[in-house]
Structure 1
Amino acid sequence: MKFVAFERNKQGTGASRRLRNSGKAPGIVYGGEGQPQLIELDHNALWHALKKEVFHSSILEMELAGKTSKVLLRDVQYHPYKPQVVHIDFQRVDANTKLHMKVPLHYKNAEESQAVKLEHCLVNPVVNELDISCLPADLPEFIEVDLSGLKKGMSLHLNDIQLPKGVKAVTHGKPNPVIVSVVTAAAEESAEAATAGAEGAAAAAPAAEAKAAPAAKGGAKDAKAAAPAKDAKKK
């Protein structure tokens, strides 16, 4: 993806404010062999570019002063309540230096899995992007994850997904974190609880009837024993 930047000579809060008021966005490009350089971009074009996923996760071609260089988006600062970019940072890319980036995960085929299609479960993505390390030439725009093999009670871990060639995941703490979990839908849980309750009630009914039967027999005997006593009293 290409974009055009322009050299910026003035810096400071006042200069940046005037720049933004004129429809421009202040920024900086750093890293590589060159010195940090102040730049400015057309705000409207930048705003629309930032809405695209590829602008955040891939190597960009920046045209500056008639020369094209490869850069990565590193930071964007937005106005607290206005739809405005306050400042943007780019980093130059060295073909021989590994990058540390966050790349989005694209999930597919969840609706074709046994968990969703037959067992009426919900697929819950725990992670939507992955920290990776790779050379610029190996940087993927996104990583695709196939969920067609999911079943009820399963969890998909980092080691279960196929990473592109030359790409290594960077984990923080847990070596094999959960990427996707399968959870039972609330309606399904209620139905299972109702079924279990009905089965329990059905099992308890014969026991209750058996318990009530001796009591009834005992009551009948007591009634018969009490009848002669009443007759004797009357006489």
Structure 2
Amino acid sequence: MKIEISAGKRTLQGKGASRRLRGSGKVPAVIYGGDQEAQSIEMDHNDLYHKLKLEAFHASVLTLDVAGKKEPVLLRDIQMHPYKQQVLHVDFQRVDKNKKIHMKVPLHFINAEVAPGVKTSGGIVSHILTEVDISCLPDDLPEFISVDLAELTAGHTLHLSDLVMPKGVETVALSKGENLPVATIVIPRSVLSDEAGAEGSGAEKK
């Protein structure tokens, strides 16, 4: 998904200026990184707020248009108001297409309904991880990683090494030798007690 956002240059600095900016429906922000100095910008609050609801906005290389000049960036930090639905500040990092980036991307779990541990054992999928830290070149950045649960049986766990990663993408934890658990199937107590009860009644009949 290609996502483009617009911003204007911000000249006034300080808490008072930022407060007035927010009062006029804008959000103070900053772009940093690369071989350029950090640049203060301002963005339309409503447009930014709605884009923040998109999962891909948090795990994609974005095109940031600042007064007609476009450059690729990553969303790196968001400050929200403690209780209002208001974005207070955002940070963007410039992207060099020739340098690898580290990014957290969401995991999308598929085929849970046909997993043997769910279908035949009455288990429930427990998502141990919901996102994964990856390393890749900007052009290889996936919006998400699919986790196929089709073969997962009760009592077994999927680990990072079981995931099929897109070309050019590696998980940071695995590269450090940490094969973290991703998902497992848990059998609820009610199912276990029902099975135990059925076995007990079967034994009595004998």
TM-score scaled by structure 1?
0.82
1:119 and 1:16 mapped to 2: Cα distance?
A: 56
Deviations 1:182-226 (A, max 9, x none): 1102321111232344466678xxxxxxxxxxxxxxxxxxxxxxx
Q: CA RMSD in A?
A: 1.6
Alignment-derived partner of residue 178 in structure 2: 175
Deviations 1:101-121 (A, max 9, x none): 000010101101111112211
In structure 2, runs of 5+ residues without a counterpart are none
Deviations 1:82-127 (A, max 9, x none): 1101100000000111101000010101101111112211111110
Alignment-derived partner of residue 153 in structure 1: 155
Alignment-derived partner of residue 143 in structure 1: 145
2:173 and 2:203 mapped to 1: Cα distance?
A: 47
Shift of the 2–130 alpha-carbon distance from structure 1 to 2, 3 Å rule, reads: same
Alignment-derived partner of residue 3 in structure 1: 5
Alignment-derived partner of residue 120 in structure 2: 118
What is the aligned counterpart of 1:67 among 66, 69, 72?
Answer: 69
In structure 1, runs of 5+ residues without a counterpart are 204-235
1:22 and 2:24 matched: yes
2:152 and 2:49 mapped to 1: Cα distance?
A: 38
What is the aligned counterpart of 1:189 among 166, 189, 192?
Answer: 192
What is the aligned counterpart of 1:81 among 80, 83, 91?
Answer: 83
Alignment-derived partner of residue 131 in structure 2: 129
Number of residue pairs the alignment of both structures matches: 203
The letter of the residue matching 1:182 is I
2:35 and 2:67 mapped to 1: Cα distance?
A: 17
TM-score scaled by structure 2?
0.93
1:111 and 1:150 mapped to 2: Cα distance?
A: 11
1:75 and 1:174 mapped to 2: Cα distance?
A: 28
More helix by share: 1
The letter of the residue matching 1:11 is Q
Once the two structures are overlaid, the 10-residue window that deviates more, 15-24 or 180-189, is 180-189
1:21 and 1:152 mapped to 2: Cα distance?
A: 54
2:86 and 2:67 mapped to 1: Cα distance?
A: 25
Deviations 1:127-174 (A, max 9, x none): 000001111111111111111111121111111111111111011876
| CA positional deviation for 1:70 | 0.2
Identity %: 51
The letter of the residue matching 1:177 is L
What is the aligned counterpart of 2:60 among 28, 45, 58?
Answer: 58
1:120 and 1:193 mapped to 2: Cα distance?
A: 14
Once the two structures are overlaid, the 10-residue window that deviates more, 102-111 or 185-194, is 185-194
Once the two structures are overlaid, the 10-residue window that deviates more, 184-193 or 45-54, is 184-193
Structure with higher RCO (Cα < 8 A, 6+ apart):
2
